[in-house]
Amino acid sequence: MENEILFLTLATVFGLFMAWGIGANDVANAMATSIGSKALKIRDALIIAAIFEFAGAVLAGGEVTSTIRKGIVESGYFVTQPELLVYGMLGALLAAGTWLLIASRQGWPVSTTHSIVGAIIGFTVAAVGFDAVKWGKVGVIAASWVVSPMFSAAVAYAIYRSIAKFILDHADPLGRARQLAPIYVFMTVFLIGLITMLKGLKHVDLMGDMSTIQCYAIAAALGVVVALLGYYLISLIEVDENSNREFAFYKVEHVFSVLMVVTACSMAFAHGSNDVANAVGPVAAILSIASTGSVDQHAAMPVWVLMIGGLGIVVGLATYGRHVITMVGSRITPLTPSRGFAAGIAASCTIVFASGTGMPVSTTHAVVGAVLGVGLAHDTKGLNMGSIYRIFASWVITIPAGALLSIMFYFILKAALS
């Protein structure tokens, strides 16, 4: 295609800009439970995010990326004019990135998935009309935006109630924490390992002929190893047998601070695997069209494209994530390490499951839903309804904002590059 180098350069730059916005907004949401519960300092959270966000994006990001790349737009409408799809995808990246910059500066925890899906819908309608949008697919995605916070809230509620019943309300909470905490670690590592192998590593051809049973066995083995490590670390906590119950609760929360490290790692991996698609999905579409001159987008996802998305996400969190962390981490409901652990595990389960099934859910929705679930399980009076209403309002605004900005940038890019 003519101007191939220009299109690829713009796609890379705009993709990095979009990934930066994801890091500044959505990753801040993903790490907020760890920071808000004071289980992790911001510096430690940045290190964890840098490692596991990048790993999730590269290893497990391809499944959702295919949904963003070719699941929303009827590519047949662009067969005779593939350059229109290029202009549109460039405009969508620029629009979503711009909206995330605005929202992050204001401290609004918006959905990057809403941003890019709305932007893709906007330019598609402007370029070829309403019929080119796969409204059935959009409806399924929209349904996930309702289901994901509800599912995440329900899981978080159940996890925290189990912690309260079997540990916090027990006569010997610290003793029970030592016994049961490794089970929570096992569940987390088993889930992450299984999804990584079944839905992630196949994108980089590392699985070979490994069977599903072998994947389950390896995930279980990893879970046991990390659970044993967690048991050892928890056993190092000193206990004063003559201490009062309040001191025992303090030590229990210390135990969950250790577990929050595992939660933060899984949450970062889950987020990277799901939300990298928002940045590199359109980049992959542009790459395919520019290199082949057609809208056939069935080529394999290059690893370097996923790496660009992972890099941008990490930089965004490090440079601008502080504006959103405060809202989710402390202004919805007070978080302790045990509550933060329940919320983090629930959100992580939701996002990784969605990533494995190719459903681009919103990390913001999953995290906020999980925090709300913990708040409902602990004390509804502790919920800050003002902050919750503002968050919900930002969700409503995001889709039309992404669509309108995308339409504007589409026409500007079309006029400038035609």
244: helix, strand or coil: coil
What are the residues whose beta carbons fall under 8 Å from the beta carbon of 97, sequence distance 6 or more?
Answer: 14, 17, 18, 20, 21
CA quadruple 112, 118, 123, 124: dihedral sign: positive
Percent of the chain with pLDDT over 90: 17
pLDDT tens readout for residues 23-59: 898 888 778 888 888 888 888 888 888 888 888 777 7
Can you tell me the distance from the alpha carbon of 324 to that of 29, in angstroms, rounded to the nearest whole number?
7
pLDDT of residue 161: 93
User: What pLDDT does residue 67 have?
Assistant: 54
Mean pLDDT score of the chain: 81
Q: How far apart are CA 262 and CA 260, in angstroms?
A: 5
379: region left, alpha or beta (phi > 0 left; psi from -120 to 50 alpha): beta
**Across 134-148, 159-173, 234-248, which has the greatest mean pLDDT?**
159-173
Confidence bin at 330 (pLDDT 50/70/90): confident
298 pLDDT band, cuts 50/70/90, is low
Q: Which amino acid, 30?
A: A
DSSP 8-state code for residue 296: -
Cα(360)–Cα(272) distance, integer angstroms: 12
Q: State the average pLDDT over residues 203-207.
A: 54
Q: What is the mean pLDDT of residues 202-224?
A: 75
360 pLDDT band, cuts 50/70/90, is low
CA distances from 236 to 136, 255, 307 (A): 54, 10, 38
Report the sign of the C-alpha dihedral through residues 329, 113, 151, 179, in that order: negative
pLDDT at 225: 93
Question: What share of the chain has pLDDT > 70, as a percent?
Answer: 87
Burial of 102 (0-12, 13-18, 19+ CB in 10 A): middle
For 185, the domain range is: 4-417
Alpha carbons 114 and 96: distance in angstroms, whole number: 9
Q: Give the pLDDT of residue 14.
A: 94
Per-residue pLDDT at 374: 93
CA angle 3, 280, 94 (to 5 degrees): 65
CA-based angle 335:336:337, to the nearest 5? 125
For range 168-179, the mean pLDDT: 82
Query: How many domains are contained in the chain?
Result: 1
**In the prediction, which pLDDT does 137 show?**
78
pLDDT in tens, 54-110: 887 777 666 655 555 556 777 777 778 888 888 998 999 999 999 999 998 888 888
**In the predicted model, is pLDDT for residue 316 greater than 80?**
yes
**Average pLDDT over every residue of 202-230:** 78
Most confident of 12-26, 171-185, 250-264, 284-298: 12-26
The number of CA neighbours under 13 Å toward the Cβ of 227 is: 20
At residue 205, the pLDDT reads 55
Q: Is the pLDDT of residue 122 over 90?
A: yes
Quote the pLDDT of residue 219: 86
Mean pLDDT of all residues in 360-387: 84
Q: Which residue has the tokens 């430690």?
A: 44
Mean pLDDT of 152-173: 90
Whole-model pTM? 0.80
Task: Output the pLDDT for position 159.
Answer: 92
- Mean pLDDT in residue range 355-362: 68
Q: Is 284 exposed, middle or buried (0-12, 13-18, 19+ CB in 10 A)?
A: buried
Total residue count of the chain as it appears in this document:
418
